Amino acid sequence: MKSFLPVLAALTVLAVLQLVLGSSEYFVYLASLVGVNVVLAVSLNVINGMTGQFSIGHAGFMAVGAYVAGTTSLLLKDDQLSFLPPAMSDQLFLLLALLLGGAAAGAFGFLVGLPSLRLRGDYLAIVTLGFGEIIRVVIQNSDGLSKSLAALPGLAPVGRFVGQFGGALGVSGVPQRSTFFMVWFWVFVLVLLARRLSDSSHGRWLKAIREDEVAAEAMGVDTTSYKVRAFVVSSFFAGIAGGLFAHFVPIINPGSFTFVKSMEVVVMIVAGGLGSTTGAIVAAVFLTLLPEGLRSLFLKLGGGDASLAQKVDQVRMPIYGMLLVVIMLTRSQGLFGTHEAWDLWARRKRAGAKA
């Protein structure tokens, strides 16, 4: 099967990297962070890039995925599938948690997608922003919420589940099951899915909505249904990213899913070129590593004094902002425009064939 070849190749490369670098904690942490951001950027690109809608609340979907997956794993921490080696059983439970987190985020994506049928541009942006903030605030106050839920007949288990969220303090003790291999395996799979979507009738219909909604509708595209589907798929991906994140950070709290996080993802896809999966990947890698690079640089400048390095987090957004302005001034379509690396490659091949 030709379509499985890239999967096999990727698995091999990832396995080798895991063996060679898997013991370096710093590398694994950084690589996992990059991976999560790549998934977030690629997924937001489905809504903002391919479909041309404007969503700026992506951290909300990530939060839903992180909390649902993280809490699931926490509750099932001590369970084992006795017929499997422990490591494998752990990974199966991780898979279950991730899929639950993704599905929950997808369900929220459906709800948030509905207003996109009536709202356009700025108005839709405000709804998605509001959604992201609501999710964060609800989690922050989850203690009270869980008590109210537990009091309602039939909702006691939901209340117990929400009770694990820990309010502003967050959830700690989620088993650390997101290995480097696992994170990048998902990155690979989701990027592949995004690419396949983009290169199918479904992806073309999303792009038709972006290009001209009236014409798309006149050509038989059910624009409302497809806008909602873009939200569902995109938030499912974001939920997986959140789930992966929950399984390698020591603690998940509402502070990780603020508006700043949402904007970070928007900056990534705008800088990379709206509509380009390649651009989203490149920008996500670069913009995740940039603050880390700056941090080590400042650490050196400060002669080992960490206070200067801590400032990096504070100047991160202004730096992103400036970067965005520079990119917009010099290359307003972003690094890649709507193009993909594989398109360029295909074009070269075609040109070569003609010559």
Partner 1 sequence: MSAPLLEARSVSIRFGGLKALSAFSLTISRGDLKGLIGPNGAGKTTAFNVLTGVYEPTEGEVLVGGERVNGKRPFQINRLGVARTFQNIRLFKQLTALDNVRIAVLPETRRWFDAARVQALKRGGAAQRALGAALDATDNYRDWWRAFLRTPGFLREEAQVTARAEELLSVMGLSHRKDELASSLPYGEQRRLEMARALGTRPKVLLLDEPAAGMNTREKADLMVLIRALRDRFDVGILVIEHDMKLVMGICEHLTVLDHGETIASGDPAVVRKDAKVIEAYLGEAPAHVA
Footprint on this chain of partner 1 (rule: CB under 8 A): 3, 193, 196-197, 200-205, 207-208, 211-212, 214-223, 225, 229, 233, 338, 350
Alpha-carbon distance of 257 to 268, in angstroms, equals: 16
Query: Among residues 103 and 289, whose Cβ is nearest to partner 1?
Result: 103
Work out the number of other CB atoms within 10 angstroms of the CB of residue 69.
Answer: 32
> Closest distance between partner 1 and the C-beta of residue 74, in Å?
29
Query: Among residues 176 and 342, whose Cβ is nearest to partner 1?
Result: 342
> Closest distance between partner 1 and the C-beta of residue 115, in Å?
18
Query: Among residues 329 and 351, whose Cβ is nearest to partner 1?
Result: 351
Nearest to 17 by CA among 179, 239, 173, 252: 179
Alpha-carbon distance of 127 to 139, in angstroms, equals: 18
Contact criterion met (CB below 8 Å) for 143 and 163: yes
> Closest distance between partner 1 and the C-beta of residue 131, in Å?
21
Query: Among residues 205 and 320, whose Cβ is nearest to partner 1?
Result: 205
Query: Among residues 51 and 256, whose Cβ is nearest to partner 1?
Result: 51
> Closest distance between partner 1 and the C-beta of residue 218, in Å?
5
Contact criterion met (CB below 8 Å) for 228 and 116: yes
> Closest distance between partner 1 and the C-beta of residue 298, in Å?
41
> Closest distance between partner 1 and the C-beta of residue 117, in Å?
11
Query: Among residues 300 and 349, whose Cβ is nearest to partner 1?
Result: 349
> Closest distance between partner 1 and the C-beta of residue 3, in Å?
5
The per-type count for the chain, helices as H runs and strands as E runs, is 15, 2
Alpha-carbon distance of 221 to 214, in angstroms, equals: 10
User: Is 179 buried (19+), middle (13-18) or exposed (0-12) by CB count in 10 A?
Assistant: buried
Q: Which residues contact 109 (CB under 8 A, 6 or more apart)?
A: 61, 231, 232, 233, 234, 235, 236, 238
Q: What is the DSSP letter of 335?
A: S
**Tokens describing residue 250:** 């020591």
**What residue spans of 76-155 are helical by DSSP H?**
86-113, 121-140, 142-151
Alpha-carbon distance of 234 to 280, in angstroms, equals: 14
Residue with tokens 């990297």: 17
Alpha-carbon distance of 218 to 201, in angstroms, equals: 16
Query: In whole angstroms, how far apart are CA 22 and each of 83, 89, 297?
Result: 26, 20, 24
Query: Among residues 160 and 202, whose Cβ is nearest to partner 1?
Result: 202
Q: Which residues contact 181 (CB under 8 A, 6 or more apart)?
A: 14, 15, 17, 18, 22
Query: Among residues 215 and 322, whose Cβ is nearest to partner 1?
Result: 215
Nearest to 259 by CA among 62, 7, 48, 13: 62
> Closest distance between partner 1 and the C-beta of residue 336, in Å?
13
Query: Among residues 292 and 343, whose Cβ is nearest to partner 1?
Result: 343
Query: Among residues 240 and 287, whose Cβ is nearest to partner 1?
Result: 240
> Closest distance between partner 1 and the C-beta of residue 116, in Å?
16
> Closest distance between partner 1 and the C-beta of residue 205, in Å?
6
